[in-house]
Amino acid sequence: MMKKEFFRWWLYICLLGVGAYFGIYFDIFSKIFITDKTYLSSIILVLFLFSTSLTGYRTWLFNYKKIHTDTKLGWFCGEVMFSLGMIGTLIGFVLVFGDALANIDLNNQANKVKIIADMGIGISTAIYTTLAGLVCSVLLWIQLINLEYGINHYEEE
């Protein structure tokens, strides 16, 4: 009998590896991690790597050891990643409207340039943390759906 769930998970990891290669090659990840002043994108990525490893291990246990596992921790990690992304959005907007506009003096040209630069940092933090939270949570949820599909169909047989 072919171990479909683990094979699908492994194929998915290979596709993620190809995507990660291009993200590194085009400096997408370094740009995100350098620009994110809250470091929430890094925390989300570490949580995603942990959750993916855990989901792979549980998929392996299900397919090869016939141990039925619980996916609640994985779903919780996905929700935490999503929530951290939203928190980063709020922090980014606080950086935009708090620090950048606190000492506004429109008569000073140098001050205008600094305000625009500060607003760029806040907006990029908001966008990158949202992106990291949404993408990582969806990528984890796809893995969990694969595992739950196998568990549900195994119990039906």
pTM above 0.75, yes or no: yes
CA distance 123 to 151: 42
- The pLDDT score that the predictor gives to residue 108 is 77
- Burial letters 65-78, b for 16+ CB under 10 A, else e: eeeebebeebbebb
CA distance 92 to 121: 8
For 15-72, how does the pLDDT look when each residue is reduced to its tens digit (9 = 90+)?
A: 999 999 999 999 999 999 999 999 999 999 999 999 999 999 999 999 999 998 899 9
The pair of structure tokens assigned to 117 is: 């630069």
CA distance 98 to 119: 9
- The pLDDT score that the predictor gives to residue 143 is 98
The pair of structure tokens assigned to 89 is: 């959005």
Q: Where are the domains of the chain?
A: 4-156
CA dihedral sign of residues 140, 48, 15, 150: negative
Q: Please, are residues 125 and 92 in contact by the beta-carbon 8 Å criterion?
A: yes
Contacts of 80 (CB under 8 A, 6+ apart): 47
The pair of structure tokens assigned to 129 is: 């943390």
For 75-107, how does the pLDDT look when each residue is reduced to its tens digit (9 = 90+)?
A: 999 999 999 999 999 999 998 887 666 667 777
